Structure 1
Amino acid sequence: MHRKSNGTAGLITGVIVAALLGLAGITIYQMRASADAAAASNGLTLNPELFQGETHEAYLVAQQHPELLAQLDCYCGCEQHEGHKNLLDCFRTNHGATCATCTGEAVTAGQLYENGTPVEQIRALLSQRYAHGG
Structure 2
Amino acid sequence: MKNFGFILVSFLFLLSCNQNSSSSKEIPPEPPKPLPQKSEPAPVQTTQAKEQATYRIPPYFENADTAVLTPVLDPQTVPQHAQYAYGLAQRNPKLLAQLPCFCYCDRFGHKSLHDCYTDDHAVHCDICLNETVEANQMESQGMTPAEIRTMIIAKYHPES
TM-score range for the pair, normalised by the shorter chain length: 0.5 to 0.7
Matched, 1:57 2:119: no
Whether contact under 8 Å (1:69, 1:88) holds in the other structure is yes
In structure 2, stretches of 5+ residues that fail to align are: 1-67
Which residue of the partner structure matches residue 120 of structure 2?
94
Q: Quote the offset at 1:132 in angstroms.
A: 2.4
Whether contact under 8 Å (1:75, 1:130) holds in the other structure is yes
The number of aligned residues is 91
Counterpart CA distance in 1 for 2:80 and 2:155 is 24
SS in 2 for 1:61: helix
Residue type of the alignment partner of 2:125: C
In structure 1, stretches of 5+ residues that fail to align are: 1-38
TM-score by length of 1: 0.62
Counterpart CA distance in 1 for 2:158 and 2:86 is 23
Specify which of 113, 116, 131 is matched with residue 105 of structure 1: 131
Matched, 1:68 2:106: no
Identity %: 36
Matched, 1:125 2:151: yes
Counterpart CA distance in 2 for 1:47 and 1:108 is 20
Q: Quote the offset at 1:85 in angstroms.
A: 0.4
Whether contact under 8 Å (1:101, 1:130) holds in the other structure is no
Higher Cα Rg, which structure: 2
Query: Relative to total residues, which structure has the larger helix share, 1 or 2?
Result: 1
